[in-house]
Chain A
Amino acid sequence: MYDIFIAPFAEFEFMRRALVGMLALSFGAAPIGVFLMLRRMSLTGDAMAHAILPGAALGFLVAGFDLFAMTVGGVIAGFAVAISAGVVARVTQLKEDASLAAFYLVSLALGVLIVSMRGSNIDLLHVLFGSVLALDNATLVLLASFATVTLLVLALTWRPLVLECVDPGFLRSVSKTGGPAHIAFLALVVLNLVGGFHALGTLLAVGIMMLPAIAARFWATDLTRMIVLSVLFAFVSGYAGLLVSYHLAAPSGPAIILAAGSIYGVSLAFGHVGGLRRRFVPGRHLEA
């Protein structure tokens, strides 16, 4: 038992670091994922994750695998795309999802091009799929800071955020905080995707954000519980994924996301809030 579940972390420092990184990521990304899902923006997260790539790639072009350069580049590119997509949607005929799709496809191509200009294919794989087993101190501090900022900002904008999801008309009629809260929220999405990018790469970062959130939806009818569950699911995915990758010598990033995917699968089948089992084996009806 000990050998399977604890020894890898007790013996190797890089495993402990990876686990701590996943813990920080779980606290930041999973709650953001819940809000994205509830605002029907699940795919927006995906688009934004791609949008980060050219920024991070430019940072890489300038400074190589430098934490600061790639973070700043990613954050700037993420904001630029989020804001441009919003502006294009408001100023032209195009809906926001269509303009996001256009921006992220261009961004992805641009990002891959930039990385290839300087680095090898191995570098490209690093950027796209991350390197959770190679987190240094600075990166861990960065991930923890992002998680802290995320939780603080979520706490401050909680009421307007929730209200804007449930009843945007009501929020507009009582207060002007809806707009600023929405922008703060988009900023958190970008921040957490950049954080996730360092551990899991641009393509998989969205996985740890969305999969635990979507799985939590099958177990809770209450927002607070949903968020707590999503954090828990995200961390369990991180732990299980790291174990699997250690014992089977599988790549860690995909293993973590697949673990999250398994939790989603189980939730889909057995979740008591709208899961498949409830649908096909509903049980006998109640008296009232």
Chain B
Amino acid sequence: MNAAVRFKDLTLGYDRHPAVHHLNGAVADGALLALVGPNGAGKSTLLKGIVGLLPPLAGSIEHGLSRGEVAYLPQIAEIDRSFPISVYDLVAMGLWRRAGVAGRIGKNERAQIEKAIATVGLEGFEDRPIGTLSGGQMQRALFARLLLQDAKLILLDEPFASLDAGTIADLLEIIRRWHAEDRTVIAVLHDYEMVRERFPEALLLARSPVAWGPTPEVLKPENLLKARHMSEAFDNRAPVCEVHAA
């Protein structure tokens, strides 16, 4: 099977301190991968690295996809919800790859936007300013935007944080459909139960990779315990890492 994303001795970090340390391996095309691990384990950092928002300190990430073919849902805090924009326009941003700076949003595109809004269950909210949405409704709108992005590789950073069961179930259904369409999905998650039920593959990260493979193997108690011990503190006087230095 082809690899959608390949990590070669990848180290990502901030100000020379590694947040993801010497990661090797490949995410298969069409995989549904859960990224798990304690806080500060480098999960969000890894997603930023794949999108290209953070250049590697060492090693490389290869995915051979153009910018528009990768969809990335960051943690919700980055959005200015006081901005006067409607749900419809927020969702329409998902068409950027096709419409770009000046492309036309025609009848076809409008139909797609309406369909995406309907798929996430936000009919009737089209004209509402985004500032009036609840947390769950906002996340639904962002999933509608992801739907329109029509990406081959979809990266989700804690997509279910503080959502209710009904919303989570609806959004999981969308993820299942992406998986059925052979898109590659990588999601940062904290709910091990959900990962066991819904995600066939998992990568347990504690800066360095602890385990990667079929979910039941990865989420064994000894691995989880190991991950908790490995998430050591940020050390200002850490020596230069000599692994693979040549």
Contact = CB atoms under 8 A, between A and B. Distances in A.
Interface of A: 38, 156-157, 159-160, 162-163, 165-170, 172-177, 220-223, 226
10 contacts: A38-B84, A160-B101, A166-B90, A167-B80, A167-B90, A168-B78, A169-B74, A173-B53, A173-B72, A222-B85
Given A221-B84, A221-B129, A174 B101 contact: no
A156 B101 contact: yes
A176 B97 CA distance: 12
B75 to A, nearest CB: 9
Contacts of A38: 83-84
B68 interface: yes
Interface of B: 51-53, 67-68, 70-72, 74, 78-80, 83-86, 90, 93, 96-97, 100-102, 129-130, 145, 149
Nearest to A221: B129
A26 B14 CA distance: 45
Contacts of B74: 169-170
Contact of B93 (A167, A221, A222, A226): A167
Nearest to A170: B93
Given A156-B101, A156-B102, A221-B84, A166 B53 contact: no
Nearest to B86: A222
Q: Which 5 A-B pairs have the closest CB atoms?
A: A169-B78, A173-B72, A174-B96, A221-B129, A166-B83
A174 B83 contact: no
Contacts of B97: 174
B84 A222 contact: yes
Contact of A165 (B52, B53, B72, B83): B83
Contacts of A221: 84, 129
A252 to B, nearest CB: 33
A173 B51 CA distance: 7
A159 B101 contact: yes
Contacts of A168: 78
Given A173-B72, A175-B96, A221-B129, A166 B101 contact: no
Given A170-B145, A173-B70, 11 more contacts: A160-B101, A166-B90, A167-B78, A169-B53, A169-B74, A173-B52, A173-B67, A174-B67, A174-B68, A174-B149, A176-B67
Contacts of B93: 163, 167, 170
A169 B79 CA distance: 8
Nearest to A223: B84
A166 B85 contact: yes
Contact of B53 (A157, A159, A172, A226): A172
A38, A170, A175: most-surrounded residue (chain B CB, <10 A): A170
A259 B188 CA distance: 54
B78, B96, B130: most-surrounded residue (chain A CB, <10 A): B96
A166 B67 contact: no
Nearest to A173: B72
Nearest to A167: B79
A223 B170 CA distance: 31
B102 A162 contact: no
Contacts of B96: 159, 163, 174-175
Given A173-B53, A174-B97, A166 B72 contact: no
B102 A165 contact: no
A217 B145 CA distance: 27
B83 to A, nearest CB: 5
Contacts of A222: 84-86, 129
A58 to B, nearest CB: 37
A288 B70 CA distance: 39
Contacts of B83: 38, 162, 165-166, 223
A160 B93 CA distance: 10
B74, B79, B80, B149: most-surrounded residue (chain A CB, <10 A): B80
A90 to B, nearest CB: 15
B100 A175 contact: yes
B90 to A, nearest CB: 7
Nearest to A216: B84
B26 to A, nearest CB: 22
A262 B93 CA distance: 37
Contacts of A176: 67
A157 B101 contact: yes
Contacts of A226: 84
Contacts of A169: 53, 72, 74, 78
